[in-house]
Structure formats: C-alpha cells, structure tokens
Structure 1
Amino acid sequence: MAQQVHTTRRGLLFGTAAVSAGALLTACTSNDAGNSKGGSAEQAPLADDKAGKHVTIGFAGPQADHGWLNAINVNARDRAKKYKDVSLEITEGSNDTATQIGQVETLINKKVDVLVILPADGKALTQVGLKAMRAGIPVVNLDRIFNTPQAYRCWIGGDNYGMGLNAGHYIGEKLKGKQNARVVELAGLDSLELTKQRTKGFDDALQNYPNIKKVARQAAEFTVESGQSKMAALLQANKHFDALWNHDDDQGVGALRAIEQVGRDDFFMVGGAGALSAFQAIKADSGVLKATVLYPPTMAASAIDLARALGQGKGIGGMAEFEIPSSVTLYSAVVDKENVDRYMPTGFN
C-alpha cells in the first residue's frame, strides 16, 4: 500500500463515498459491465463504448501474498478483459526487487504501449520507471509511489492519511455523547510510512473530540496471526475501552478471533481496507465489527482505464483537460451497515 501526500477532508465521512477513479474515467475508454465478482470492480462503469486504437498494457505487481494484493491482480485482469481493444501482458509478481525490475525490463523490451507498475519497493524501482519513460512508454504508477514524478506519467493510489482521518471521525461521531470515552488502535507495520500516515490521520481526527482519549496502540504485521496475538495483548492490558480501530482487515480476522476467545463485546470495531469477510460481518451485525474504511483494490481497474486512455491519447470524461491528470488519490469511504450492499461486490478474500 502507498506512501503518498496527505489529503485533509471533513465532508462525506460517515457512510458515504466520493466518486471512485473508475467512475471519473467514464467516457475515456469501452464495453459493457459484466456480472459482479468478489474483489473486483466489475460493477463500476467502464469508459466510452467506442472501441479505439489497440493498446498493449504491461502490468507488473508484487507477489500476491496478502488478500489486498491478490485483489489488485484480480482487478487488473478483469478490467482488461472488458476492453476489446486492450491486451494485457502480466508478470508473475515478486517481492524481490531485482526480479521485479527484470520483469519490467522484459515488458519494456517487448515494446508494450503503456506500463502499469505496483512496485514492491517504490524507491528501488524508480530507475526502471525512468527507463520506461525515457523509452517512450508512459508509466501508470500504482499505489506505492516512485521517488520522482519523472518515473511515471500518472500516479493512482489510496489515501492512508485519509483512512485514519475518516476512521477517527467515524468513531468520534459515534462516541461524541459519551464522557471519558476510550479508544485503542491496532496498527500495521510501524516500519512502513503508510502505517505512520494512518495513525497520524486517526490522531488528527480525534483532536476534534475532547471527550475521547486514545489509551493504547499496538503495532501488528498485516497478517492474521499477528492480528490475533497483538489484539490478545491489547485486550489483556485494557479491561475497558469503547472503540477499536484496526488498520487492516486481513489482520482483523485474527483480531476478531482474539476478541471472540475472551468473549468481549463491550466496544465496537472499525476495520480498514475492505475485505469481503469484513463486509459480511458488518452486514450480519452480530459482532463488534461495525464498519471498515476503504483502501480500494479497485484502483488497479482504474489504473487499466488510465493506461488505456494514455495509449489512445484520451482524457477523462467530465473534465475539460485533454490529458489525464498526473495523480489520482482515491477516497477512503467508511462502509457500515447503511451502505455495505453497495460495496459488497468489491470485497476481496
């Protein structure tokens, strides 16, 4: 997940979403939407239904060793199949930077029209992004950002600061009438900048609610196992709190196991990312999980839209500019029982 610029916003926090990048691309690219499938953007609108110049898109992502990363691959493949004028050259994905650099260089040598790259490490892959751009192949940098904008034509990704901000405001509004409210935070890997951004957004939001105090924070590792063990430690150390924000729905599976093992139901939980299991639990409304804040993997589908538009020399429908923008930051919508049905098709396993 990305390291990107903070975007502060106050409106549309509670169960409503801003338009996705995929919707913004209406009228830039083709064809009919198909049946919905978990983890995919299949219900999102495609661009204009006029087939254009054929575009070969090279897609290079990291190894799909996490539910969100697998959903990235699903979204890219499914979106490309929707377009009769798009061919997708997709690599096997690797968390080894040298391997991924080699894969991107192979795509450059194949002379693809456009590259979509979600780098395992943005800094490490900056040079190969520059190489592609210098070879005349525009790059759509997906989520984890390169060190320089010279290495990409367009960046599209999620809003980590916005995740924390919207989670904090959602919890704040739910607890604003409660005196001496207490919240805890189950973060992700503290070595990652994105984790720091999510915590910063959360803390900034809570400053608007003087009745709320964050009494504990524990860092996990974006895995089920770490979520379970770290949540167990939080529960043992904190006998009473009113709300929990968990940064990641994958580690949230483990957190919920720990909560169920001790039989706690005296607080509510807000997750992060948008896993199908989280959506199902929110819809069932039978446990502590009441909402999750999106970090939408549908960004990969939108990256394919952007790549196609670049290859065909088109802009974005609904905007006056002839060119696509240099960056697109997705909105971190809060999904709760009121709007979960809308987002259910995008939930990833």
Structure 2
Amino acid sequence: MSAFPETHRRRFLLGTGALGATALLSGCLANEPPQQQNQNAVATGGDNAAPGRHVTIGFSAPAADHGWLAAMTTNARDQAEQFPDVTLEATEGSSDVNQQIAQVETLINAQVDVLVLLPADGKALTAVARRAMRADIPVINVDRVFDSEDAYRCWIGGDNYGMGVNAAGYIAAELERRGVTDPVIAEIAGTDSLPLTQQRSAGFRDGLAEHGLEVTRRVAADFTAESGERETTNLLQAASRLDAVWNHDDDQGIGVLAAVESAGRDEFFLVGGAGSRQMMDRIKAGNSVVRATVLYNPSMCSSAISLARLLAQARGMADLAEHEIPRSITTYSAVVTRENVDQYLDVGFAS
C-alpha cells in the first residue's frame, strides 16, 4: 500500500481545508501592496518535504489482527521511511490496554520527540497520553479519541457519522436511478457497543431520512469475517427480498459476501465501508452485488506521521498560512464507485 510520498497525495490526505485556506489567503493578498504580500508569504509553512532537524517519533497502535489496523501500522512505518530526518520507534502492537500503556511509558522514558498514538481504548489511554504531554512530548492522537483534549496536541481521524451519511446518499441515488419504490434497505453494522458504530448508524439513518427512506432491517456484527458471515446469513434468512445493503466494514464484508454467495442472492446491491482493495477490485469488475464502498482510510496514519514530523520540527503545513499544524483534522469519507475506483486503488488496503 502506498505511503503517499508525493506532494499531491499528502495534500489530498490532509483534506480540502488547505485548499480553502490558500484560496482565502490569495484573495486577501490580491489588494495588498507588494511589500505586504511578501511579508505574508513568509508566514506560510514552507516546503514540508525539505529536510529539517532529525526527530524521533514514537508509535503505538493495537495489534494488527484486522486488515484496517494492520494497514494503519504499515502506513505509519512506510511513511516514516520517506523522511531521512525521521527515526520511528514503533512498539509491538497490542490490544491489551495495560500492555499498550506500558509500551507508551517506555517511549516516554526514552524521551522521543513526539508520539503518534492509536489507542486500543481512548478512555483507558488518556492518562498516559496526558503524562507524555506533561513531559513536553506532544501527542498526535489517531482516530480513537482520548477522553480529554489536554491529552493530545493534534487529533486526526475519520468521519464515522459522515460515512453513514454518504452511504445513505449513494443508496438513495442508486435506488432512484433503478426506479425502486418502497425499498427494503438493510444495514449490517459493526459492534453496537462502540461509539463509532453508533455514529455510523446515526449518519446512515439521518442520511436516509433526508430522502424519505429508512432502514428496514438491521443486524450487528463484530468487525470480523466470521461475525459478518453469521449475521448476514441470519439477515438473508429473515428477509426474502432486499433492495440495498450497507455493510459498515470491508473486513467483516469478506464474511458478508460469503453468506450472500452461499445463499445465491443477487437481487440487491451492496455498499461497503472503509475501502479495502478486495472490495475495490469487485467494484471495478462489476460482477458482484458490491457497487460501492465508503472510505474510512488508514492513510490517516500516514498523515499522522507527517504531522508528527512537522510538529517536532516546529513547522506548519505548507499549504496553510498558520505557523503550526492544526488542532484537529477529520478525513473525508469519499464514496468509491466503478466510475472513480481507479482514483482510489492506491489507498485500498488488504482485508
């Protein structure tokens, strides 16, 4: 999977905010005298690719027992290798909260310059992240947010609610294109106890409501292929007809599709979630029920490493007028379809 060293990819990963800031700055400069324009230009972040002082980045994430999590760690390592001025000190991934806390404490004691933390449990890791901040080791919090804002300098993560909204928007448009009235819409959620699942479901529900639609049938899996197959089998047995299905997670989607193919069902279309390469390949081939997937891309971990480097080097982002990196960045959940899949193949991860 690409580590996105090219400038245009970095700008894409860090969102459209940079473009907006640049446009706004250009508009403000247009009416200023040349001398003032030059002074303002100096205030921008500069060339982020230019080498800076050498920094050591500590990295900690859960065990890579899920395709998306494995891709997060892979992306972090690959991105760090793009910078000759970065040394990455990565701990062995662990989903045991106490073990991850101990690993982070080791990184703090080693006096790394900055920490990139994807917590197994944001609440449980808050105290040790705050300890790092008090030790003047800034923290980049990835995705699963800590309980307190003083536990991190910058948060970067996905838009769970936006995933649901965008999945709903695609489904509504496709149903209209197909001329389906009174549709049966199913949702295969992730683990219901997790806030991210609740947010995705809320976005999906609200997004459908905007089009006068609603979820007809819903099951919840556990983000694994096994649970996806089990719950989808139950869903298909209970529903003799389906028109559209949104599956929250492409890793559990392996099991979802196994159940669909075993049942011989193809009267509906399916939208995935996260953006695995396997789902993108199916979308491109156009020979299965999979018609789209909504990104929740592990490229955010590549961006987290880039942000950590800039933070440790006291630099801002080149496309922003600010001297410092932002406080938070929310990635965009683009909908990948057969029409645009080639644009996103390089960010697809292995389930």
What's the TM-score bracket when you normalise by the shorter of the two chains?
A: 0.7 to 0.9
The offset of 1:272, in angstroms, is: 0.2
Q: Which residue of 1 aligns with 2:71?
A: 71
Q: Which residue of 2 aligns with 1:54?
A: 54
TM-score, length-scaled by structure 2:
0.86
Tell me if structure 2 keeps the 8 A contact 1:71–1:297: yes
Q: Which residue of 1 aligns with 2:186?
A: 184
Q: Which residue of 2 aligns with 1:307?
A: 308
Q: Secondary structure at the match of 2:216?
A: strand
Aligned residues: 311
Q: Which residue of 2 aligns with 1:20?
A: 13
Q: Which residue of 1 aligns with 2:37?
A: none
Q: Given residue 90 of structure 1, which amino acid in structure 2 is its aligned partner?
A: A
CA offsets per residue over residues 188-229 of structure 1, 9 Å max, x none? 00110110100000000001222x342100000101011111
Cα gap change, 1:245 to 1:318, in 2 (>3 Å): same
Q: Secondary structure at the match of 1:271?
A: strand
Structure 2 distance, partners of 1:165, 1:19, is 21
Q: Which residue of 1 aligns with 2:330?
A: 329
The offset of 1:312, in angstroms, is: 0.6
Q: Secondary structure at the match of 2:206?
A: helix
5 Å matches for 1:152-167?
152-167=152-167
Q: Which residue of 2 aligns with 1:172?
A: 172
The offset of 1:341, in angstroms, is: 1.1
Structure 1 distance, partners of 2:313, 2:104, is 21
The offset of 1:25, in angstroms, is: 7.9
Q: Secondary structure at the match of 1:226?
A: helix
CA offsets per residue over residues 106-141 of structure 1, 9 Å max, x none? 001111000000001100010001100000000000
Q: Which residue of 2 aligns with 1:222?
A: 223
Structure 2 distance, partners of 1:302, 1:208, is 33
CA offsets per residue over residues 234-266 of structure 1, 9 Å max, x none? 111111121000000011111111111111110
Q: Which residue of 1 aligns with 2:22?
A: none
Pair 1:200 & 2:202 matched: yes
Pair 1:244 & 2:245 matched: yes
Q: Given residue 311 of structure 1, which amino acid in structure 2 is its aligned partner?
A: A
Q: Which residue of 2 aligns with 1:119?
A: 119
Structure 2 distance, partners of 1:78, 1:207, is 41
CA offsets per residue over residues 252-311 of structure 1, 9 Å max, x none? 111111111111110000000111111111111100001000000000000001000001
Structure 2 distance, partners of 1:24, 1:281, is 32
Q: Secondary structure at the match of 1:314?
A: coil
Structure 2 distance, partners of 1:305, 1:23, is 17
Q: Secondary structure at the match of 2:12?
A: coil
Structure 2 distance, partners of 1:101, 1:262, is 44
Q: Secondary structure at the match of 2:240?
A: coil
CA offsets per residue over residues 172-196 of structure 1, 9 Å max, x none? 1111342111200000001101101
Q: Secondary structure at the match of 2:105?
A: helix
The offset of 1:339, in angstroms, is: 1.1
Q: Given residue 256 of structure 2, which amino acid in structure 1 is its aligned partner?
A: A
The offset of 1:346, in angstroms, is: 1.4
Q: Given residue 20 of structure 1, which amino acid in structure 2 is its aligned partner?
A: L
Q: Which residue of 2 aligns with 1:281?
A: 282
Cα gap change, 1:178 to 1:23, in 2 (>3 Å): closer
The offset of 1:23, in angstroms, is: 8.3
TM-score, length-scaled by structure 1:
0.87
Tell me if structure 1 keeps the 8 A contact 2:15–2:332: no
Structure 2 distance, partners of 1:238, 1:213, is 16
Structure 2 distance, partners of 1:48, 1:151, is 26
CA offsets per residue over residues 114-169 of structure 1, 9 Å max, x none? 00000011000100011000000000001100001100000000010011010001
Structure 1 distance, partners of 2:310, 2:297, is 21
Tell me if structure 2 keeps the 8 A contact 1:180–1:213: no
Q: Given residue 286 of structure 1, which amino acid in structure 2 is its aligned partner?
A: N
**Identity between Structure 1 and Structure 2 (%):** 56
Q: Which residue of 1 aligns with 2:294?
A: 293
Structure 2 distance, partners of 1:222, 1:296, is 15
Q: Given residue 75 of structure 1, which amino acid in structure 2 is its aligned partner?
A: N
Tell me if structure 2 keeps the 8 A contact 1:25–1:305: no
Structure whose CA Rg is larger:
2
Pair 1:317 & 2:310 matched: no
Tell me if structure 2 keeps the 8 A contact 1:220–1:227: yes
Runs of 4+ in structure 1 off by over 3 angstroms are: 22-26
Tell me if structure 2 keeps the 8 A contact 1:25–1:306: no
Once structures 1 and 2 are overlaid, which stretch shifts more, 48-57 or 242-251? 48-57
Structure 1 distance, partners of 2:250, 2:207, is 21
Once structures 1 and 2 are overlaid, which stretch shifts more, 176-185 or 166-175? 176-185
